[in-house]
């Protein structure tokens, strides 16, 4: 035999607040910012290049542009490793995807020299024109980059590499 009791509806207080169901907040499924802190190891520079490749592919860049961007980031990291010291042995690499561009910031404490040396910016290798008559950049860093910026603030040197992209719908 079953018996039923009449009950009233009550609200139970949990930790001093009424229990509620939170609405789901939509978030982007795609990363727009990644930060790595790496030591002077070429394998870690390659990992930074892999992250750069992912960001470029997700932004809709095509094969040669992706490869150039990846090579530029790897070479910039390797050049920055030369400026690391025993007191400051790590390089901060930040990847940011904005609507119109990709940015990679290389930050290092202590040394106030750019991560990409001036010899790379000027292009110390001799330049030879190709079949189309164009003279390629002498630096692997500059071939895949549209803009290089450098700033020093409070004992931290920051070199920013920028690749401009056409605003598109991101790939999944």
**pLDDT at position 133:** 43
pLDDT band of 152, cuts 50, 70, 90: confident
**pLDDT at position 122:** 44
Higher pLDDT, 150 or 168: 150
Name the average pLDDT for the chain: 77
- CA separation for the pair 68, 96 (Å, rounded): 17
Mean pLDDT of 64-91: 92
Strands 147-153 and 33-39: unpaired
Best mean pLDDT range from 2-6, 90-94, 142-146, 155-159: 90-94
Tokens at residue 171, please? 């790939």
Provide the strand spans (E) within the chain. Answer: 13-14, 17-18, 33-39, 90-97, 101-109, 147-153, 156-164
pTM of the model: 0.68
Of 17-31, 60-74, 87-101, 157-171, the poorest mean pLDDT is in: 17-31
């Amino acid at each position: 035999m079953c018996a039923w009791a009449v009950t009233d509806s009550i609200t139970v207080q949990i930790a001093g607040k009424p229990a509620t169901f939170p609405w789901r907040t939509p978030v982007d499924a795609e990363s727009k910012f990644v930060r790595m802190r790496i030591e002077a190891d070429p394998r870690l520079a390659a990992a930074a290049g892999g992250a750069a490749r992912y960001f470029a592919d997700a932004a809709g860049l095509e094969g040669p542009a992706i490869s150039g961007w990846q090579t530029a980031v790897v070479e910039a990291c390797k050049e920055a490793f030369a400026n690391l010291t025993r007191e400051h042995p790590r390089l901060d690499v930040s990847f940011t995807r904005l609507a119109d561009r990709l940015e990679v910031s290389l930050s290092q404490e202590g040394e106030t020299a750019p991560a990409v040396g001036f010899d790379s910016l000027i292009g110390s290798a001799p330049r030879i024109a190709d079949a189309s008559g164009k003279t390629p950049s002498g630096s692997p860093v500059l071939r895949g980059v549209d803009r290089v910026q450098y700033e020093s603030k409070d004992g931290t040197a920051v070199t920013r590499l920028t690749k401009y992209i056409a605003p598109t719908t991101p790939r999944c």
